[in-house]
Structure 1
Amino acid sequence: MSSTAVALSPGLTTFLRNLKITSIESSIETLISLLKRRQIRQSHSCAVATAYLLMRVVSMFRDAEPEKLIERVQQVGRLIVAAQPREMVVGNIVRRVLGLIRDEAENERFRGLSAQRQKQPPPPPSDTGSDNTRPHTPQSAGDTHPAPTRLEIPLHHAPHPRRRGGHHNELKTLSPFDAYGRVSSRPPLMTHPSFSAVMSTPVISMFNLLSEPQSESPQPASPIASTSPTDQPGNSPKDFKAEVIDGITEIVDELGQVDDQIAAYALEHIHSNEIILTYTASVTVQKFLLKAAARRKFTVIHVESYPNSHKDSHAAVTGTLTGDEEGLATDSFQKPLIALGITVILIPDSAVFALMSRVNKVILGTHSVLANGGLVAAAGSRVVASAAKVHKTPVVVVSGIYKLSPVYPFDYEALIEYGDASAVADYKYSDVVEGVEVMNPLYDYVPAELVDLYITNVGAHAPSYLYRIVSDHYRTEDITF
Structure 2
Amino acid sequence: MARLPTDVETEIDRFCNNIKQNTYTRSVDIALATIYILKKLIGESKWSNASELITLIRSQAHRLNQGQPVDSITFNITRRILKLIREVSVRIIHGKNEGSDISLTLQAVLNDRTATSTINDDDHTEENLQPKKQQTQNSITETNPINNIEGGVSVLRLKPELMDDLNWYSSEIELSVKNLSQQALAHIHANELILTLGYSYTVEQFFKYAASKKRQFHVFILEHAPFFTGHKMAINLSQLNIPVTVVTDSAVFAIMARVNKIVIGTRSLLANGGLTAKSGTYNLALAAKHYNVPLLVCAPTYKFSPTYLPSFDPVMCNSFPSPENILSYESIFQSSLDIVVPMHDYVPPELVTLIIGSGMGNAPSYVYRIVSELYSAEDNDLERLQKESLK
Instruction: Please report the TM-score for the alignment, with normalisation by the length of structure 1.
Output: 0.63
1:220-231 correspondence runs (5 A): none
Aligned match for 1:282, one of 195, 200, 203: 200
Q: Deviations over 1:359-409 (max 9, x none)?
A: 000101111111111111111111111111111111001110100100100
Is 1:313 aligned to residue 297 of structure 2? no
Counterpart CA distance in 2 for 1:83 and 1:441 is 15
**Residue aligning to 2:344:** 443
Aligned to 1:57: 41
Q: Is this contact kept in 2: 1:43–1:368, CA < 8 A?
A: no
Q: What is the CA–CA distance in structure 2 between the aligned matches of 1:85 and 1:46, rounded to whole Å?
A: 14
Deviation at 1:338, TM superposition (A): 5.4
Distance 2:310 2:66 in 1: 19
Aligned to 1:458: 359
| 1:416 and 1:445 in contact (8 A); partners too | no
Aligned twin of 1:23: 7
Residues 407-447 of structure 1: per-residue CA shift (max 9 Å, x gap):
10045212122111111111121x22432211111111111
Residues 75-474 of structure 1 correspond to what in structure 2 (within 5 A)? 75-111=59-95, 237-293=155-211, 294-308=213-227, 310=228, 312-319=229-236, 336-337=237-238, 339-340=240-241, 342-413=242-313, 414-429=316-331, 431-474=332-375
SS of residue matched to 1:477: helix
Contact 1:35/1:41 (<8 A) preserved: no
**Distance of aligned partners of 1:279 and 1:471 in 2 relative to their CA distance in 1, 3 Å threshold:** same
Q: Residues of 1 paired with 2:239 and 2:218: CA distance? A: 10
Deviations 1:440-464 (A, max 9, x none): 1111111111110010001100000
1:44 partner SS: helix
Give 2:354's aligned amino acid.
Answer: L
Larger Rg: 1
1:479 to 380, 384, 388: 380
- The whole-number CA distance in structure 2 between the counterparts of 1:395 and 1:241 is 43
**Of the two structures, which has the highest relative contact order with CA contacts closer than 8 Å and spacing of 6 or more?**
2
Q: Which amino acid aligns with 1:264?
A: Q
Structure 1 position 42, deviation (Å) = 4.2
Paired letter, 1:288: F
Equivalent-residue separation in structure 2 for 1:302 and 1:385 (angstroms): 14
CA contact (8 A) 1:262 1:456 kept: yes
Paired with 2:381 and 2:69, the residues of 1 have a C-alpha distance of 13
AA aligned to 1:450 is L
Listed one character per residue, the Cα deviations across residues 262-311 of structure 1 (whole Å, up to 9, x for unaligned) are: 11111111111111001111111111111112231111111111112x1x
Distance 1:406 1:351, change over 3 A: same
Cα distance change on mapping 1:346 and 1:57 into 2, 3 Å: same
- Secondary structure in structure 1 of the residue aligned to 2:226: coil
User: Alpha-carbon deviations, 1:146-177, whole Å to 9, x = none?
Assistant: xxxxxxxxxxx9x9xxxxxxxxxxxxxxxxxx
* 1:333 matched residue in structure 2: none
Give distance in 2, aligned partners of 1:475 and 1:439.
37
Contact 2:69 2:318 in 1 (8 A): no
Q: Partners in 2 of 1:256 and 1:103 — Cα distance?
A: 22
Conserved 8 A contact 1:290-1:337: no
**What residue ranges of structure 1 are gaps of 5+ in the alignment?**
1-20, 118-156, 160-234, 320-335
Count of matched residue pairs: 325
Distance 1:449 1:410 in 2: 12
- The CA deviation string for residues 307-344 of structure 1, in whole angstroms up to 9 with x for no partner, is 12x1x42233223xxxxxxxxxxxxxxxx34534x321
Backbone CA RMSD of aligned residues: 2.6
SS in 2 for 1:52: helix
Which residue of 1 is the match for residue 102 of structure 2? none
Secondary structure of 1:32 counterpart: helix
Structure number with the higher helix fraction is: 2
Contact 1:304 1:349 (8 Å CA) reproduced: yes
1:72 matched to 2:56? The reply is: yes
Find the aligned partners of 2:186 and 2:20 in 1 and give their Cα distance. Answer: 40
Letter in 2 for 1:458: G
Alpha-carbon distance in 1 for matches of 2:321, 2:67: 17
